Structure formats: C-alpha cells, structure tokens
Chain A
Amino acid sequence: MSSLRDATLRKIATIGPRYLPFADVASEAVPLSRLLRLSLFQVTVGMALVLLVGTLNRVMIVELGVPASLVGLMIALPLVFAPFRAFIGYRSDIHKSALGWRRVPYIWKGTMLQFGGFAIMPFALLVLSGYDQAADAAPWIGQGAAALAFLLVGAGVHMVQTVGLALATDLVEVEEQPKVVGLMYVMLLLGMIGSALIFGWILRDYTPGRLVQVVQGAAVVTVALNLVALWKQEPRDRARASRVETQPEFRDAWRLFVKGRTALGLLMVIALGTMGFGMADVLLEPYGGQVLNLSVAMTTQLTAVLAAGGLIGFAIASKVLLDGANPLDVAWFGTLIGVPAFGLIIAAGPLGLAPVFVIGTGLAGLGAGLFGHGTLTATMRSAPRAQVGLALGAWGAVQATAAGIAVALGGVIRDLILRLPGAESFRAEAPYTPVFTLELALLVMALWAIWLVRRKQARLFQTTRYTQPQDGPDPDVVTHDPTPLTRRPTGEEPHDHGRLTAL
C-alpha cells in the first residue's frame, strides 16, 4: 500500500509544470481574458440557482406531483448554509497548504459538493415522487435523499461563489475591481438566462430519463467549467506555507473586521436594499397576469425586461466606478431609481396601464443592477487585503439570506391576504400592493442607511488621513503586491493592512 503511494507521489512529482494548474508568479496585470475565464464559476452558480429555484421547482410540482409545501421546504434548505459564507471566507483567508494556495482548495471542494448533489438529485427526486417501485419504499428515504441533494448543492454554491469572488478580488488592483464586479454579475445573469432557456428547451417533453440526463449533465458541466475557470489562476505563495504566524479565531477576525469601520453599516444597507429589490421577483409575473391580464408569453418577457435593466445597470455602474465614482453613491442612485420604479408598478394596477408596469419593471432592474454593483464594489474596497474572504463571505451571507427571506416573505404576505375572510371581493391588485409598498419602504430605509454610512465614512476618512503614513508596511502585502503602499489607491476607507498583525 505504502509503496503504491510512494510510486504515485513520485509520478505526480514528475509531471511537467505546464500541465499543473498553477499560475505564474503574481503578475503585474491580469488580462481581461483570464478574468473572463475565472468568471465562468458564476455561470455554474447561475445554472445551479435556475435549476433549483426554477426548473426543478416546476418539474417537482407539475411532472412529479410532489406537494408544493414539501417542494418549498426543499428549495429553502440551501438557505440554511448562507450565514456560513462568512465563516467559509474566513477559513480561506487563513488556509495553509504546502502548495501555497488559499482559494483553490475551497473552490474545488465546493465544486465537488455541487457535483455530488446534482449527481444524486434526479434519483432522489424520483424516489421522492414514488416513481415505479419507490412507492413501496419508506418515505424518509426519498425525503432524506432529496434534502441531502439540495443541501449539498446549496453548500457547494455558497462555497464556490464566496471563495471565487475572494480569488477575483485577490487578483486585481483596487481601481480594477469595478470591472471584475461587473463581469461577475453579468456572467451570473447570463448563466441564469442561458441555462433557463436550455433547460426549458430540453425538458419540453418530460421523461424520467430526461430528468436524469439534464441534472447529471448540469453536474458534469459544473465540474468542467469550474476546472477551466480555476486553471492557472491563483498565484502560489510558498512563503505563506512556511511562515509561522498565529491566526486569529473567527470571533477575533470578525471583531477586527467590524471595528472602527463602516462594515456593519454597509451590511445593513445590503440587507435592506436586497430585500427591497428582491421581494417582488416572483410576484411580478403573477401580478402582470392577474391584474393587468398579460398573456403568459408577455409575463415571461417581463423577466427579460428585468434582466435587461440589470445589465444596463451593471454597465453604467462599471463605467462610472472605473472613472472614479464612489461605489456607495452608485448604490444610492440605484436605490433612488428603485423608489419611483415600484411607484410605477403599484400605480400600473389600478390604472390598468401595461406599458407603465413594463417601464417600472425595467427601472427596478436598472436600480437593482446599480445597487448590487455599488455595494459589492464597496465591500471589496473596504476589505483589508488579508480579510478579503471574510468580507465577501459576510456580503454573500447577508445578500443570500436577505434575498431568500424577501422572496419567502413576499409569497407569504400575498397568500395571507388571499386567505383573509372576504378575499374574493378584493380588487385583483389587493394581494400585491402591500408587498410592493413594503419594498418601497425598505428602499427608503436603505437610502437613509446609505446616507448614514457615507457620513461615517467621511468622518473616518478625516481622522485617519493624518495617521496613515505612520503605519508600518505589512509583510503580507509585500508578497501579494509589489507596488509600494503609497501608490495603491486607498478607496474611501483606509486600507489598514497592519490590522491583522497588530492583533
């Protein structure tokens, strides 16, 4: 056994370095083509989201006849892992490996989880629906297997996205970050739209065999795309592997992360804005159909309008941020656009004007695009280089949790109003207007929160400007980044690299 192991090790050690997935030494500028390749991991994330929330949602209810409440529960399961994103990001920050990698091992593990979940998912769903002789099996087998499959995929998605974004942030300079954020959002959106179309087209004629092919095909595509995305991306830092330093516990790292900065305020803004923009995502189509009497084909195009608005928002945000705008100002304008957008959507129902509704939807997409881009860029900029994983984990945890809660809450509010006594006599828009109004209120609160954060930022900038030159250079930064500290743009908040070592 051990001789076999030795032989394998020797074999691996003699493979040419050209065929190993290591990047060259940290290069000065990462070309766009390489960033584009890295952003492929967002395509797999988008594919997984569409498959879980869209395609399988429908297949389980319509074709497999699984009770809608059980389907809702299964789809909500991955949300359980969302708060752990902060912890995953922190773990990747302090990860030690002989190869000098921090991000690649986690993205790889996340990919394996996603793959494993998709590999067993179709069979789990077939057993869950009592296909063929599974009807005689104990119900816990199907339920347990389906829950496990959804949990695996969810955990994998959270892991891949968190650490993938951290790797992207590692690779580029601060002034280049808006480009990366735009790229990541666009690829996520393209992945979602593309896979929704492809899955819809392949599953036109549903058969159990087709379901297995589609879901397991998604598993293979996930591994393939993530391998391509990861190849030769992360520079190795062998010095890190041999350096002996005590790493802070998660609690200490977190305290360091929020202390004396606007990190918590920013997370608050993200939570409010994400809920404000996200609550209507699943309600826009039924609203258009039931209140404005749009046809199914037209309501499906609403999603396209929303996505187009988002794409325009990302493009504008990338442009102005690369020109040096403050990311929080971009988020502020996005939220500001969201307020009249939902005003138009609310007004369109009683007025019966479909064009007003479409314009409102497009504006909501535009506002959400600006807001998402602005807040993610702000997160990247405010993170000290040694805590990038933790910062993006916290962003992802808040963003995913808020989005999940918002969608669930929107549905629950509508259903509760529909169940009120005398609901039959209500106007058609009655179940929807309160949800849209709540979104308006959340967006106004987000505007207020952004204003508070901006004020605090200005104050912090005032007080730290004079103390910064005294900070000693951080050895960690030197290995990452050959440019001298003084030449690196500091963003709105001081990049206090010395923080971790000062602990």
Chain B
Amino acid sequence: MSDDPDKVWPTGLTLKEAEEVHSYLIDGTRVFGAIALLAHVLVAVSTPWLG
C-alpha cells in the first residue's frame, strides 16, 4: 500500500477512499434535504403558514 502515489498523509487515505467518504456526506445531505422538504410539505398541509 505504501507505494500508492495517491496516498495523502496524515490520514493514510488515498484520494479514492477520501472520495468515498465524501460521497457518503453528499448522499446523506441529499437524503436529509429530501426528508426535510417532505416534512415541511406535510406540516404545511395541516397547519398552513404564509396564508
């Protein structure tokens, strides 16, 4: 592993691995956003705000 040119210190992650961690972050944010949107729509149905 030590001869991997992509490896970035001090984590010892390669760029590919860091990219995977990043993809979890992005996916999580997307799911979070979609859930929040849906929750807001449902609240707006029962107790509408903005007239």
Contacts and interface: CB of A to CB of B under 8 A. Distances in A.
Interface string A104-125: 0100100010011001100110
Contact of A98 (B17, B46, B48): B17
A368 to B, nearest CB: 36
A98 B34 CA distance: 27
Given A9-B18, A98-B19, A141 B45 contact: yes
Contacts of A131: 46
B1 interface: yes
A15 interface: yes
Chain B interface category by residue count: 20 to 34
A132 interface: yes
B19 to A, nearest CB: 6
Nearest to B38: A120
**Chain A: interface secondary structure?**
helix
A310 to B, nearest CB: 35
A9 B8 CA distance: 11
Contacts of B43: 123
**Chain B: interface secondary structure?**
helix
Given A9-B18, A9-B22, A99-B21, A133 B12 contact: no
Given A98-B19, A123-B39, A124-B42, A133 B47 contact: yes
B45 A133 contact: yes
A98 B31 CA distance: 22
B5 interface: no
A12 B47 contact: no
A8 B22 contact: yes
Interface of A: 5, 8-10, 12-17, 20, 97-99, 105, 108, 112, 115-116, 119-120, 123-124, 126-127, 131-134, 137, 141-142, 145, 238
10 contacts: A9-B15, A9-B19, A13-B11, A16-B11, A119-B35, A120-B38, A120-B42, A126-B46, A133-B47, A137-B46
Given A116-B34, A120-B35, A133-B46, 8 more contacts: A8-B22, A9-B22, A12-B18, A16-B10, A17-B12, A123-B43, A133-B48, A137-B45
Interface of B: 1, 8, 10-22, 24, 28, 31, 34-36, 38-39, 42-43, 45-48
